[in-house]
Amino acid sequence: MDLALRVSHYIDPAFRLHRDVTVLVQDGLVAQVIPSVGTVLRSLAPAALDLGRALCLPGFVNAHAHLDLSHLWRQVPRGLAFHEWVPAVVAARTLPATMIEGGIEDACRMLVAGGTTAVLDVSVGGNSAAALSRHGLRGTVALEVLGFDPAGADAAMQRADEVIRARFELDRERLGADAGNADAPAAPGGVGFGYSPHAPYSTSADLFRHAFGRACGEGRVCTTHAAETPEETRFLQDGTGPLRELLQRFGVKLDGFHGFGAGALELLLGDWLAPWLAEANPHLVLVHCNYPGPAGLELLARTRPSVCYCPRSHAWFDHQPWPAQAMLEAGVNLVLGTDSLASNEGLDPLGELRVAATAHPAVPLETWFRAATVNGRTALGIAPEAADLTAWVLPVGCEPTTTAEALDMLLREGPPLLAGVSQGAVIARSV
Ligand SMILES: [Zn+2]
């Protein structure tokens, strides 16, 4: 065994609660959970953490972030409409690289401190990959491609390829003989890449097909924003509204474009991506889906992608209530994300869970915690039994006897993080 973790309360990936156990980790997986008998930890594994009164559960997976916007933390005023907010964010991309890199570093620290162990980050230049890896976090950096004009689709994919060569494959080449063997993981360790066509109002069908076709062929994650605002639906339907003006302001030629006559999910799931879709598509992560519409919900039920709800960012833009019940009935793989710090006050998953639970009291707390943890593993292709764990102080007087009581305590008390483990290695520790 590589690591032994002794805790008073452990919630396993099936959300069963175990009392007074030692969690044994080997090769990045939870290998065994055994009853604790005294403190015999050192004999079990070279790395041993005796956390005593602690609640341990699967680590949080942030299924939607833009870490390269983290330098905008507390810089963008609340209350802007989406089409007013976008130009502020686009302008921020031109700030000095040192600011952007510094923001990513700070964001990684916030993620680790909040109990996140894996991230799906949408990235323009791929520069979060090395930072995530350095902080011990795992996940996927989805390279953003966009362009409304189909003639630019090939060039956009080529730019993504350049990022892939610079950020993911060059490191492996540079390792050379030091890589040891051909099976050595590609640097940055634990972080792979995927694709992120931006959104159906900003990205052509051709570019969506290039990116999603490639992701399917290579077994990678593909993520996109979809059905985020009523303005998006309007623009896709008939080509009018504030998004038309916004795109034109960015120089997009829309002469002769009068909409597709369909909403985002009908376009994506019923047409553009349809040739690749199977009965369930967890590695396709559709972000927001705030306004899915009846036809969109039907397509979601048929194709069952991952759907990512970003509770605090959703509240930031003052959207209609998120259609949680309809999504659960559609049977999508529900995941949670933070979106960027340009539309969120922090990156802590407990903060997101609190907002989700308050906004949707009819949805069981366990459903939200699954969305924030093990469902994210499904989306990112992380093994269900991965040794990605967090352990939290169990306040004096708290003696949860069921999973529901333990999760309720975590949200209510917000106790300090005792330890974070990602891929079997300790990445945060306060004892
Ligand atoms: Zn986003």
Q: What is the mean pLDDT of each run of 10 residues along the chain (431 residues)?
A: 95 98 96 86 84 96 96 82 83 84 96 97 94 96 96 96 85 53 58 97 98 96 97 97 94 95 98 96 98 98 98 93 98 97 92 98 98 98 98 94 98 95 94 62
Which residue reads 């302008």 in tokens?
91
Q: Are residues 323 and 262 in the same domain?
A: yes
Q: How far is the CA of 311 from the centre of ligand 1 (A)?
A: 12
What is the identity of the amino acid at 307?
Answer: V
d(CA 339, CA 65): 4
User: One-letter amino acid identity for 414?
Assistant: G
Of 91, 108, 210, which Cα lies nearest the Cα of 161? 210
Same domain (yes/no): 52, 72: no
What is the DSSP-derived secondary structure letter of residue 386? B
Q: Are residues 21 and 73 in the same domain?
A: no
Residues 300 and 217 in one domain: yes
Residue 94 and residue 181 in one domain: yes
Number of structural domains in the chain? 2
Q: Cα(123) to centroid of ligand 1, in Å? A: 10
* CA gap 370, 334 in Å, rounded: 8
What integer pLDDT is reported at residue 40 of this predicted model?
Answer: 65
Q: Which helix (H) or strand (E) holds 21?
A: strand 17-26
Residues 88, 153, single domain; the answer is yes
- Same domain for 90 and 79: yes
pLDDT at 431: 62
CA of 256 to the centre of ligand 1 (A): 29
**Residue 46's domain is classified under what CATH number?**
2.30.40.10
Confidence (pLDDT) at 177: 53
283 and 189, same domain (yes or no): yes
Residue 54 shares a structural domain with residue 64: no
pLDDT for position 372? 98
Distance CA 407, CA 395 (A): 13
Q: Given this model, what pLDDT does residue 119 score?
A: 98
Please indicate, yes or no, whether residues 47 and 110 belong to a single structural domain of this protein.
no
Closest alpha carbon to 54 in 350, 387, 393: 393
Dihedral (Cα; 258, 264, 266, 267), 10-degree rounding: 60
Residue 248, domain CATH = 3.20.20.140
CA of 317 to the centre of ligand 1 (A): 12
**Cα 232 to averaged position of ligand 1 atoms, centre (Å):** 14
418 with 285, same domain: the answer is no
Q: For the stretch 79-97, what's the b/e string if a residue is b when 16 or more beta carbons lie within 10 angstroms of its beta carbon?
A: eeebbebbeebeebeeeee
Strand partners, 250: none
